[in-house]
Amino acid sequence: MAIAKVIIDVSLDKEFDYLIPETLLPQIKVGVMVRVPFGHSTREGYVLSLADSSDYTGGRLKPITGLCETRANIPEHLVTLGRWMADYYCCSQEQSIRTLLPAAVRSGKIKPRIRRLYRIADVAAAESFVACNGTKPSAALRVDLVKALLAHGAQPADSLKSLVPAFSQSGLNTLIRNKIVETVEEIVRRDVFGDSHVLPSKPLPPSADQKKALELIGKMLLGETSSHVLLLHGVTNSGKTEVYLQAIAKAREMGKSAIVLVPEISLTPQTVRRFRARFGDQLSVLHSRLSDGERFDEWNRINNGEVQIAVGARSALFAPFRNLGLIIVDEEHESSYKQSEAPRYSARDVAVMRGKLEGAVVILGSATPSAETSYNASTGKFLLARMAAQVDNKLAPRVTIVDQRLAGPPEPGKSNFFSKALITAVFDRMRRGEQSIIFLNRRGYARVMICEECGFEARCPDCSVAYTYSRQRETLTCHLCGGVIPAYELCPQCLSPKIRYAGVGTEKIESLAGAVFKPARIARMDSDTMRGADDYEAVLERFRRGELDILIGTQMIAKGLHFPNVTLVGIVNADLGLSMPDFRAPERTFQLITQVAGRAGRGDIRGEVIIQTHNPENETIQYAAQQDFDGFSKFDLEFRQLLAYPPYTHLIIVHFRGEDESMVVEFANGFTAELQRYGHEGIRFAGPSPAPIERIKGKFRYMLVIRGSRLKLLRQALRVLALHRQPPKGVEVYVDVDAQSL
Q: Is 454 annotated as a binding residue?
A: yes
**Which string of x and - marks every residue 675-694 that binds ligand ADP (by CB under 6 A)?**
--------------------
Q: Measured from the CB atom, is 141 or 260 closer to ligand ADP?
A: 260
Which alpha helices (DSSP H) does 18-139 contain, by range?
A: 76-88, 93-100, 103-106, 123-133
Our finding on whether 451 is near Zn ion (CB under 5 A) is yes
CB atoms inside a 10 Å sphere around CB 646 = 18
CB atoms inside a 10 Å sphere around CB 505 = 11
Q: Measured from the CB atom, is 492 or 730 closer to Zn ion?
A: 492
Q: How far apart are CA 601 and CA 481, in angstroms?
A: 44
* 272, 350, 478, 550: which one binds Zn ion (CB under 5 A): 478
204's contact among Zn ion, ligand ADP, none, with CB below 5 to 8 A by partner kind, is ligand ADP
Rounded to the nearest whole angstrom, what is the least distance from the CB of residue 488 to Zn ion in the complex? 9
Rounded to the nearest whole angstrom, what is the least distance from the CB of residue 206 to ligand ADP in the complex? 5
Rounded to the nearest whole angstrom, what is the least distance from the CB of residue 245 to ligand ADP in the complex? 8
Question: Do residues 630 and 420 make contact, with C-beta atoms less than 8 angstroms apart?
Answer: no
Say which amino acid occupies 171: G
Say which amino acid occupies 255: G
Interface segment toward Zn ion; rule CB under 5 A; list 276-284, 403-411, 487-495, 653-661:
487-495
Rounded to the nearest whole angstrom, what is the least distance from the CB of residue 499 to Zn ion in the complex? 7
**Which H, E and C letters describe 516-529, residue by residue?**
HCCCCCEEEECCCC
For residue 402, give the 3-state DSSP assignment.
Answer: strand
Longest dimension (CA), the chain: 108
Q: Measured from the CB atom, is 240 or 447 closer to ligand ADP?
A: 240
Question: Do residues 382 and 229 make contact, with C-beta atoms less than 8 angstroms apart?
Answer: yes
Number of residues that bind ligand ADP (CB under 6 A): 14
Q: Measured from the CB atom, is 261 or 585 closer to ligand ADP?
A: 261
- For residue 119, with 0-12 CB atoms within 10 Å meaning exposed, 13-18 middle and 19 or more buried, which class applies? middle
CB atoms inside a 10 Å sphere around CB 535 = 12
**Which string of x and - marks every residue 201-240 that binds ligand ADP (by CB under 6 A)?**
---xxxx--x-----------------------x-xxxxx
Q: Name, in order, each residue with C-beta under 8 angstroms of 603's C-beta and a sequence gap of 6 or more.
A: 564, 565, 566, 567
Rounded to the nearest whole angstrom, what is the least distance from the CB of residue 481 to Zn ion in the complex? 3
Q: Is 91 annotated as a binding residue?
A: no
206's contact among Zn ion, ligand ADP, none, with CB below 5 to 8 A by partner kind, is ligand ADP
* 292, 306, 453, 507: which one binds Zn ion (CB under 5 A): 453
Say which DSSP state 97 is in: H
Q: How far apart are CA 718 and CA 724, in angstroms?
A: 10
Q: Is 478 annotated as a binding residue?
A: yes
Helix axes 123-133, 140-152, angle to 10 degrees: 140
First and final CA of the chain: distance in angstroms? 50
10's contact among Zn ion, ligand ADP, none, with CB below 5 to 8 A by partner kind, is none
CB burial readout 370-406, b (16+ within 10 A) else e? bbbbbbbbeeeebbbbebebbbeeeebbebebbebbe
Got the DSSP string for 722-737?
Answer: HHHSPPPTTEEEEEEE
- For residue 40, with 0-12 CB atoms within 10 Å meaning exposed, 13-18 middle and 19 or more buried, which class applies? exposed
Rounded to the nearest whole angstrom, what is the least distance from the CB of residue 390 to ligand ADP in the complex? 7
Q: Measured from the CB atom, is 67 or 391 closer to ligand ADP?
A: 391
Applying the rule CB under 6 A, the residues between 356 and 395 that interact with ligand ADP are 391
**Which string of x and - marks every residue 404-443 that binds ligand ADP (by CB under 6 A)?**
----------------------------------------
CB burial readout 463-473, b (16+ within 10 A) else e? bbbbbbbbeee
Our finding on whether 456 is near Zn ion (CB under 5 A) is yes
Phi, psi of 688 (to 5 degrees): -65, 135
Q: Measured from the CB atom, is 24 or 706 closer to Zn ion?
A: 706
Q: Is 491 annotated as a binding residue?
A: yes
239's contact among ligand ADP, Zn ion, none, with CB below 5 to 8 A by partner kind, is ligand ADP
Question: Do residues 259 and 326 make contact, with C-beta atoms less than 8 angstroms apart?
Answer: yes
* 85, 437, 460, 585: which one binds Zn ion (CB under 5 A): 460
* 209, 242, 334, 358: which one binds ligand ADP (CB under 6 A): 242
Q: Measured from the CB atom, is 577 or 598 closer to ligand ADP?
A: 598
Rounded to the nearest whole angstrom, what is the least distance from the CB of residue 393 to ligand ADP in the complex? 11
Q: Is 132 annotated as a binding residue?
A: no
Q: Is 68 annotated as a binding residue?
A: no
Q: Name, in order, each residue with C-beta under 8 angstroms of 443's C-beta and a sequence gap of 6 or more.
A: 503, 504, 505, 506, 576
Our finding on whether 595 is near ligand ADP (CB under 6 A) is no
Q: Measured from the CB atom, is 95 or 241 closer to ligand ADP?
A: 241
**Which string of x and - marks every residue 488-507 that binds Zn ion (by CB under 5 A)?**
---x-xx-x-----------
Binding-site sequence positions: 451, 454, 460, 463, 478, 481, 491, 494
> Given the rule CB under 6 A, which residues bind ligand ADP?
204-207, 210, 234, 236-242, 391
Binding-site sequence positions for Zn(2+): 451, 454, 460, 463, 478, 481, 491, 494
> Given the rule CB under 5 A, which residues bind Zn ion?
451, 453-454, 456, 460, 462-463, 478, 480-481, 483, 491, 493-494, 496
